[in-house]
Amino acid sequence: MELKKLKRISEYEWEISPVGDMKVPGKIFASQKLVEEMDEKVYEQVCNVASLPGIVKASIAMPDAHWGYGFPIGGVAAFDPEEGGIISVGGVGYDISCGVRTLLTPLEKNEVIPHLETLVKMLFETVPSGVGSEGTIKLSPSQLDEVLVEGAKWAVKKGYGIPEDLEYIEEKGCMPGADPSFVSMEAKKRQHRQIGTLGSGNHYLEIQYVSEIYNQEVAEVFGLFKNQVVVTFHCGSRALGHQIATDYLPVLAKAARKYGIPIKEKELVCAPIDSPEGESYFKAMVCGINCALANRQVITHLVREVFQEIFPGIFLKVLYDVSHNTCKVEHHLINGKLKKLYVHRKGATRAWGPGRKELPKEYQKVGQPVIIGGSMGTASYILVGTEEGEEKAFGSACHGAGRTMSRNQAIKTFRADQIIENLRKKGIIVMAKSKKGLCEEAPEAYKDVNEVIEATCKAGLTKKVAKLIPIGCIKG
């Protein structure tokens, strides 16, 4: 991206002044190096989002931002329904509620290493992964409707976890406002055996250990300690979320024409929040969120079963579960007034600071855990949200390292056997359903996650708590 197009506010904050149809400025939180590495499409998409009706404060891009459909991946925007604000499929993405959950073990690295090969193999065999992967849970349409309304609460009710798990899940495991009647039968048909599965693409399940603690006070509140083994997995609403997005793109395209909303990119189609079309999409999208929360809850149960077989008597506690492809109703201060806003986060993680009553009681004094997955073979991070981040970016942060290489380019560049060998030399055991998928996710296809995290924290959006290094990785 050309720096001359931007106004530098601080070392890690850049502004695009409103021009043309832009109703608000664009904001990019990143180092100069990361900004220069961003493709020009990010600039264009930030400006396009800033031109949508009812947007407040700014159209925002995170340090891991790259080109996406409609919104940039790493994009954040909030819309005021009282000012004609809109809701957009492109602002949520196809994998609705794609997110990350971290489970804490009481084990240290040296206790797990002797069993690592067995552990990775058993997890690979137990947690279905790969394109179109299916689990053992088979749901009828009416049973799936229960999942779409109740989310992780359904899973716990069916014995996949314990009630205490729900406290450590965004929305307490169930987002209100879902209505399965707005989800197509095709979406439900595609999902009927996908609860409890990882899927493919950048989804993963990793065994990691805590290599560094940056904030001892917050780490203690979160239950983290040096050399502790944790399990982190990344997945979403699978085929159901993708089908919801596919179904509603033409609906919102028609709505944009009906309500006279100028669209600068076809994937940016949208409808007024309070329109019948906007309300329909929101109700269906919430079903997608609940589906993802149920999916990750069932995976939690499967992971626990594997660990308990190898390490009898241990229990894996949920640190937190947070999504990064959502539109949520939140209240934020705008010009000193508390406003109800529809906050779109597309490849961006909610990162609330201390004091929010929605957080688990013990986390309220320090802030929300923010789980950031790195590229395979590098590192992941546990951060904590800040009040400054709430003011600057509606309590949002990056969601990962961010791609620098297309999937097709990665397939042409890397060999699966070489990736596996290189990672084993680093002490990381990798198992994958697809050689192609492994090549797509080569560590070199991503930005340096350490740089992205540094920029996110230096911009004031979050604070570092702990660094996680993988020792076992499962890919679709």
Query: β-pairing, 73-79 with 380-385?
Result: unpaired
Q: How far is CA 271 from the centre of its chain?
A: 24
Which residue, among 37, 412, 396, 445, has the nearest Cα to 202 in the 3D structure?
445
Does the annotation list 446 as a binding residue?
no
Q: Is 205 annotated among the ligand-binding residues?
A: yes
Q: Of all helices (H) and strands (E), which one includes residue 77?
A: strand 73-79
Pairing of β 396-397 and β 349-350: antiparallel
SS3 of residue 289 by DSSP:
helix
Helices (H), 3-71: 32-37, 40-50
Q: Which whole-number Å values give the CA distances from 325 to 26, 159, 417, in the listed order? A: 20, 27, 32
Is 402 annotated in a binding site? The answer is: yes
Whole-number Å distance between alpha carbons of 1 and 42: 8
Residue 202 labeled ligand binder: yes
Is 74 within any annotated ligand binding site? no
Q: Is 401 annotated as a binding residue?
A: yes
Q: Is 206 annotated as a binding residue?
A: yes
Contact 59, 67 (CB under 8 A): no
Note if 332 is an active site residue.
no
242 annotated among ligand-binding-site residues? no
**376 among the known binding-site residues?**
yes
The answer to whether 422 is annotated as binding is no
Candidates 242, 332, 344, 399; catalytic one = 399
Residue 475 counted as an annotated binding residue: yes
At 181, list the tokens. 């009647």
374 is in an annotated binding site: yes
Q: If DSSP codes are grouped into helix, strand and coil, which group holds residue 361?
A: helix
Q: Does 321 count as an annotated binding residue? A: no
Residues 6 or more apart whose Cβ sits within 8 Å of residue 198: 127, 128, 129, 130, 133, 204, 205, 233, 235, 299, 474, 476
Binding residues: 95, 202-206, 234, 324-325, 373-376, 380, 399-402, 475
Kindly list the catalytic residues. 399
Binding residues for GMP: 202-206, 324-325, 373-376, 380, 399-402, 475
Binding residues for Mn(2+): 95, 203, 234, 324
